[in-house]
Amino acid sequence: MNRAASSVVAVFALGLAAFGASALLGQTASPAAGAKLAPPPPPPAATGPVTRAAAQLRPAKDGKVEGTVNFTAAPGGGVHVTGKITGLAPGTHGFHVHEFGDCSAADFASAGGHFNPTGQPHGAPKDATHHAGDFGNIEAGADGTATIDYTDAGGSFDGRRSVLGRAVVVHANADDLKTQPSGNAGGRVACGVVGVAKPE
C-alpha cells in the first residue's frame, strides 16, 4: 500500500473511532445552523369538571366597594354563592351576573347587560321567569358590609348557563325586581370576573 492510500485509511479509521466514542457517551449531533427546534410540549390541561369558581370585586373609579364572591357546585344541583362585600352604603344593592367578563371600563359598562342566555324578562331569583344573572339584592349593614349566602338552582359551570368568564356586578341602588331590563338598580359600584378556582 502506498503512502497516500495509508493516509486515507488512517483518517477514515480515526473518524470511525470518534463516531464510536460519541455514541458510547450518548452524544448526538448538534442541529445545523438555522435549524428550528421543536417547541417544548405544553403543560397538561386541567382535567375533571369545574366545582369551584370565584370573582374578586374591585371598586368603580373613586369608589371603595370590594370583596370576594365564591361559587361552589351545590350537592343537589345548581351553584352555591357565598362571599363578603365591604365599602357599601348601608342598605339594599342590586347583585347580578353580567354577560361579559370585562370590567375594564371606569363605570363597568363593558360588562354588558344581565347574563340572560335564555332571553327571559328581568325578575326576582325565585320568579318563574328571570335572567340567569338575576341574583336579586344584597343587604349592607351599618358598617357597609354585606354577606352573601345564596343557592342559584339554575346555576352551572358548563353549557350556556355557565357563569365562568362572566362578571359579577354590584349596583348602587336596590333592584326593584320588576323594571325592565335591569331592575332600576342604578350605577355599578363594583365588578369582578368569574374564574375557575382551585378545588377544595
Using alpha carbons only, give the angle 13, 19, 22 rounded to the nearest 5 degrees: 145
* Residue 181, preceding peptide bond in cis (omega within 30° of 0): yes
For 163-174, give one letter per residue: b (16+ CB within 10 A) or e: beebbbbbbbbb
Backbone dihedral angles phi then psi of residue 8, each to the nearest 5 degrees: -60, -45
Q: Nine-digit cell at 144?
A: 357597609
Positions marked active-site: 96, 98, 114, 122, 131, 134, 171, 188
d(CA 134, CA 151): 12
